[in-house]
Structure 1
Amino acid sequence: MAKSENKTKPEPVDPAAMIASVEHPQRRADAEVLLPLFTRITGWPAQMWGPAIVGFGRYHYKYDSGREGDFMVTGFSPRKSYTSVYILPGYRDLSEPLSRLGKVKHGKSCLNINKLADIDMDVLEEMVRDGVAYMKANYTTAAR
């Protein structure tokens, strides 16, 4: 199978400017908290991935099918209805920290948070740190 790149790619947009443009006041305020939090946790600068995802780091993946590409290691996106936090990789059992996190909905690699006040920020930091450590141990990662 031919190499197939991820459709979501790094964009030359300032993440702080994107956050400042978020219309929903709660999503904007939460993103203003998450930006320095993720920067501190990861040690990597923020970079936009597509028009709405603030990502940190980069890793290269290659599936058995031959599909490969680059994607962010972790990040977040202030959506209209909630803020998504991306904890990669998904598909691991995160039931224990999820039980302590607070009020969230989640998919395989993302947490959907209505507002940061609904969750335990220490547990969120623990989960992001764990995800970044896993990615560094299992993939080639870089700041950009």
Structure 2
Amino acid sequence: MAELKTKVNDNDVSMFIENSVEKKEKKTDTYELLDLFRKITGYEPKILGSSIIGFGSYFYQSERSSQKGNWPLVGFSPRKSAISLYVYVDTKKNNELLSDLGEFTMGKSCIYVKKLTQINLKVLSQMIKETMSFLQEKYK
């Protein structure tokens, strides 16, 4: 069975941010997200692979392939072009919340935002909670 390639490692989150996030505004946004996710989830952040900051964990096994492994309940990645938010699962509540989130684009498994000032952080907080609830229920 194929395992996920992106795994939790022992890299220090603050060091990752300081060494990887170049623009001052994006660094500020990254620390704000770090505080927000930590507060909402109650989990300490962990680095997955080389660039994802994840919170919590569940065991994932694909229904379509043999891929399996641990994956964060929610997370984000401060990439050069945009911040990737891993906070979305296709639930009725999350789909309703999207209309009030602000300026974003959707990827295959995440939401992309340019800067935090373009989104509603209260809505993001609700999406984090909804995603965690859904995944914890589905993957007990």
* 1:45 alignment partner, SS class: coil
**Moved beyond 4 Å, runs of 4+:** none
Query: Amino acid of the residue matched to residue 46 of structure 2?
Result: Q
Q: TM-score, normalised by structure 2?
A: 0.90
Match of residue 20, structure 1, among 12, 18, 21 = 18
- Specify every segment of 5 or more residues in structure 1 that has no aligned partner in the other structure, as ranges: none
How many Å apart are 1:109 and its aligned residue?
Answer: 2.8
- Specify every segment of 5 or more residues in structure 2 that has no aligned partner in the other structure, as ranges: none
Query: Percent of pairs identical after alignment?
Result: 36
Name the CA distance, whole Å, in 2 between partners of 1:52 and 1:26. 18
Provide Cα deviations, 1:51-72, integer angstroms capped at 9, x if missing partner: 1110011111223444322111
1:129 aligns to what?
A: 129
2:80 aligns to what?
A: 80
Kindly indicate whether the alpha-carbon contact (under 8 Å) linking 1:91 and 1:108 is maintained by their aligned counterparts in 2.
no
| Paired residue total | 137
How many Å apart are 1:82 and its aligned residue?
Answer: 0.7
Name the CA distance, whole Å, in 1 between partners of 2:90 and 2:105. 15
What is the root-mean-square deviation in Å for CA atoms of aligned residues? 1.5
Kindly indicate whether the alpha-carbon contact (under 8 Å) linking 1:27 and 1:79 is maintained by their aligned counterparts in 2.
no
How many Å apart are 1:42 and its aligned residue?
Answer: 0.7
Provide Cα deviations, 1:8-42, integer angstroms capped at 9, x if missing partner: 00111111111122112222111010111101111
**2:51 counterpart of 1:52:** yes
**2:2 counterpart of 1:9:** no
Q: TM-score, normalised by structure 1?
A: 0.88
How many Å apart are 1:95 and its aligned residue?
Answer: 2.8
